[in-house]
Amino acid sequence: MKLIVVIIFSISVFAVKGQDKVSVKYYDSLWKPASAEKAVYYTEYEKAGNYFKGTSYYKNTSHLLGRGFFIDTIDYKRIGTMINYYESGELKDSSIYDNTGTALKEYSFYKSGKIYKQSILDEHTYGLKVYMFTENGKHIADSSYTQVPAQFNGGLQEWSKYLGEHLNSDIPAKKNAPAGKYTVVVLFIVDLNGYVINVEAENDPGYGTKQEAIRVIRKAPRWHPAIKNGKPVIYRHRQSITFVVSEK
One domain for residues 142 and 171: no
Residues 129 and 171 in one domain: no
Measured CA to CA, the distance from residue 135 to residue 155 in angstroms comes to 38
Contacts of 239 (CB under 8 A, 6+ apart): 9, 75, 185, 186, 187, 188, 217
For residue 74, the model assigns a pLDDT of 75
Judge if 114 and 180 occupy the same domain.
no
What's the CATH code of the domain at 230? 3.30.1150.10
pLDDT, residue 116, reads 93
**Per-residue confidence (pLDDT) for residue 248, from 0 to 100:** 63
Residue 44 resides in a domain = yes
Query: Do both 27 and 54 map to the same domain?
Result: yes
Full domain range(s) for residue 225: 155-247
Distance (Å, whole) CA 104 – CA 144: 17
Give the per-residue pLDDT at 13: 26
CA 90 – CA 137 distance, rounded (Å)? 18
H helix and E strand count, the chain: 4, 16
Nearest partner of 76 among 189, 163, 202, judged by Cα: 202
126 within a domain of the structure (yes/no) = yes
Confirm whether pTM is higher than 0.75: no
**Does an H or E element contain 1, and which?**
none
Q: How many domains does the chain have?
A: 2
Residue 229 is assigned to a structural domain of this protein? yes
Residue 4 lies in a domain: no
CA–CA distance, 9 with 25 (Å, rounded to integer): 20
φ, ψ of residue 213 to 5 degrees: the values are: -65, -45
* Residue ranges in the chain modelled with pLDDT below 50: 1-20
